[in-house]
Structure 1
Amino acid sequence: LGLLANFGEATGLHLNQSKSSLAAIRCDDVDLPEVLQSFGGSLVDFPMTYLGLPISTTRLRLIHFQFILDRIKARLAGWKGRLLNLAGRRVL
């Protein structure tokens, strides 16, 4: 955590430990509790969500993104009829 503190002093950007989480990738040989004892954030596993998008160590399938497609379709449904003429709506 000394590195993050030094970074904060130099830049003015500080880590909010209550909002921070760590996802370890390929750390089977590492004693994570010992390494992270001063971190203060939570330890999470994969799959996880970051900025509203699913993240995984394996290949994601279409089903993992279906909620995004559903939101896009719902937003399109609200404005597509108002902004297009009749011929444009037929094409869409």
Structure 2
Amino acid sequence: MKILKLFGEVTGLTINQEKSTVSAIRCTDLNLAEILQSFGGKQVGFPLTYLGLPITLGRLRMVQLQFVLDRIRTRLAGWKGKLLTLAGRRVL
């Protein structure tokens, strides 16, 4: 927490501990309860979702990203009838 507070002082960015979570990556030999006792957020495990995308410790499978592909296909279907060039569709 000292490092995060120092970072906040230097940059002007602060952390909302009530909204924050910690995900330990391969920390089996550490006492996380002791390390995180001053952290106000909660501890979560994997898999988790960050900015709407799944995060795992291994490779993502196509099944885990299928919802993203479905949303893209739905949006593209509406654009096909519009008078946009291929480059314009990519930008949009």
Structure-2 separation of matches of 1:14 and 1:6: 10
**Letter matched to residue 55 of structure 1:** I
Q: Structure 1 residue 54 and structure 2 residue 54: aligned? A: yes
Structure-2 separation of matches of 1:51 and 1:65: 13
TM-superposed CA distance for 1:83, in Å, is 2.4
Give per-residue Cα distances to partners, 1:26-85, cap 9 Å, x unaligned. 11011111100111111111111111111101121100000000000110111211226x
Show structure 2 runs of 5+ residues with no match.
85-92
SS of 1:19's equivalent in the other structure is: coil
- Structure with greater helix percent: 1
Give the match for residue 88 of structure 1. none
Give the match for residue 17 of structure 1. 17
SS of 2:3's equivalent in the other structure is: helix
**Letter matched to residue 41 of structure 1:** G
**Letter matched to residue 56 of structure 1:** T
Map 1:1-92; keep pairs closer than 5 Å: 1-83=1-83
Show structure 1 runs of 5+ residues with no match.
85-92
What is the TM-score with the length of structure 2 in the denominator? 0.85
SS of 2:58's equivalent in the other structure is: coil
Structure-2 separation of matches of 1:77 and 1:32: 48
Identity among equivalent pairs (%): 62
- Between stretches 61-70 and 44-53, larger displacement belongs to 44-53
What is the TM-score with the length of structure 1 in the denominator? 0.85
Give the match for residue 87 of structure 2. none
After superposition, the CA RMSD in angstroms is 1.1
